Structure 1
């Protein structure tokens, strides 16, 4: 039996489609596909985040999937301006993939929550062509930007029934044409061609659900913790039923600790990212314990409350939509590396918290696990494999 799930949003696929004002609805099903008769194929995902640009290249062959290459580089801060210089991003992209063979390699990207607008809407059931046209008019109600300046796309997440009327729960996405042109130009300058701009939420689904045929049917939230924002994806019976970009991230935890300890931000970042508690001021404030890593966890606990509060609000909002309560949470992203974050969040939220483990083997290091900070980039690379 094939499991039908919403496909990846193809907000931008080819330059010609952009110039012809074409909209490409997401219609594909999420099924793990391996063609054992084909030669090895390569795919790359590039996640342009607030602090880092991360790239993951995977190979698909008769032996299965493996991570061929992964790398990260600092994100130029000016990239988050309304208009940035494409040459600046192109220079960083060239550094990022200088040791990678990208010939015939499809490249999928995501460009940050502040560049892509998403909305959950409900619309009456109708034929696909009618829906695509109706979406344009509906977008005007939800997006404060003229529709003619946007590229729109949508995915039907699930059917719904409101007051006896058959409807569809739809995830609507939009990006400005100017932004698409900027990113396309930057990649072109770096001799790279974008295959698709995708949503981080769908990328995260592919890594932890799409690749795992035994993923349980219970209501599960997957949270990809970024630096300034975190993507929440709620899954039930392996289907995406809810997504939300939360305005919290690792920076929220850092800021909370700065306020409570009056310690320099850089020292706090180094402590949590290294997992070593070696700051004299911190050592005096944290109770003496036998294990150094436990000291880091105790220190982290002083800054987790604000983050947990926002997560709880998102979970409560999900419940107000007539949904069953989330039973567990999987945490990924860079902050998943913080010592004890799973135990601290479990205590604050009173539910099981798991650290997302990426199971794909890495070339030349089969026993190594890909760092969870690369989850979104990996999911982008998987777009052509988990469909």
Structure 2
């Protein structure tokens, strides 16, 4: 997405999340893609906080080990950012060509973001090039604070890699979705990636992103609530959160905690949808597709479906990607796939996307 980086021949999708780092390498075939490598490595809970890398050495070491253990030789990566340092805003600008807009995007950004344009990297995506009836066109303005981007670039460099594309989680998730789902021309789909610290929402209509939002109500809220409600430590709460057994506690005992946080999450999603409909003149949401580690929380899809009165499913970004069963266990791929949505979307990026 952003345009100050080099142009390699191929990319590894590198998803640097709060609880883990993930890598995906694909090979383009005549029809579709083949999985070349896939890896995941955990991070300590305090390594990345609110999108800020607190322990750069821990992240770069985890990335380096992950590449070595999974025999990933390619050094050029596509990475993405999310959270409060990222602003994605739909704006209306006078109708013009993309090259003209690129020359004036800094002036447009000054009217819409709370930061100095000197402190951010800017990009944009034209939603619809046609006139909206007012001599204007709709554009998604993207601004990411330079200090956050520089943190990620430094970690990647320390791991012996090169960043060729810097993207935004919401768009990487959308890129993966386009690989495994068919969307109707007027269908409105809400993509939701539930990570440890951030839930990313991207509402797309007819294959075009119309609204994005990052919320801090995510997987960690469940962990913290289980710790507080049942007197567990972090490791015990994480096990119970994902449906495992902890001595002296079971999933049935945790159910009231799940229901409480599920209700909070449903309320947060509902408010986002209402904002989309009211301020963006958006249509009704037709369905929700979940991804991220949080999508596997016990009974979450059914709870959200009931609360939102919408079909809710867990997406599989690896579904249309071929994989050698001698190298990749099909059951493991099916299990891990929802967590790899951002990584897959990044791996699908072309080198020229960073140019």
Change (3 A) 1:298 1:346: farther
- Is the contact made by 1:255 and 1:265 (CA closer than 8 Å) also made in structure 2? no
Partner residue in 2 for 1:207:
176
Check if 1:180 corresponds to 2:149: yes
For the residue of structure 1 that corresponds to 2:154, the secondary structure is helix
Change (3 A) 1:234 1:146: same
Q: Could you tell me which of 228, 242, 249 is aligned with 2:197? A: 228
Partner residue in 2 for 1:330:
289
For the residue of structure 1 that corresponds to 2:261, the secondary structure is coil
Q: Could you tell me which of 154, 160, 171 is aligned with 2:124? A: 154
- Please list, as runs of the form range in 1=range in 2, the aligned pairs for 1:226-265 lying within 5 A after superposition: 226-258=195-227, 261-264=229-232
Check if 1:46 corresponds to 2:11: no
Q: TM-score, normalised by structure 2?
A: 0.84
Deviation per residue, 1:242-281 (Å, 9 max, x gap):
211122111233344556x4442533321122x2345534
Partner residue in 2 for 1:289:
none
In 2, the alpha carbon distance for the partners of 1:333 and 1:91 equals 23
- Is the contact made by 2:197 and 2:218 (CA closer than 8 Å) also made in structure 1? yes
Change (3 A) 1:228 1:11: farther
In 2, the alpha carbon distance for the partners of 1:99 and 1:150 equals 35
Greater gyration radius: 1
Deviation per residue, 1:20-50 (Å, 9 max, x gap):
xxxxxxxxxxxxxxxxxxxxx8531111111
Deviation per residue, 1:170-209 (Å, 9 max, x gap):
1112233344344333322322111110111111112222
In 1, the alpha carbon distance for the partners of 2:108 and 2:63 equals 37
For the residue of structure 2 that corresponds to 1:240, the secondary structure is strand
Partner residue in 1 for 2:67:
97
Q: Could you tell me which of 321, 330, 341 is aligned with 1:367? A: 330
Change (3 A) 1:386 1:222: farther
For the residue of structure 1 that corresponds to 2:316, the secondary structure is coil
What is the CA-CA distance between 1:216 and the residue it aligns to?
3.2
In 1, the alpha carbon distance for the partners of 2:285 and 2:94 equals 27
- Is the contact made by 1:252 and 1:307 (CA closer than 8 Å) also made in structure 2? no
- Is the contact made by 1:11 and 1:175 (CA closer than 8 Å) also made in structure 2? no
- Is the contact made by 1:108 and 1:198 (CA closer than 8 Å) also made in structure 2? yes
Structure 2 portions without partners, runs of 5+: none
What is the CA-CA distance between 1:115 and the residue it aligns to?
3.6
Q: Could you tell me which of 75, 90, 101 is aligned with 1:120? A: 90
Structure 1 portions without partners, runs of 5+: 1-8, 16-40, 287-295
Q: TM-score, normalised by structure 1?
A: 0.78
Q: How many positions carry a matched residue from both structures?
A: 340
RMSD: 2.9
Which range moves more in the overlay, 140-149 or 217-226?
A: 140-149
Check if 1:57 corresponds to 2:25: yes
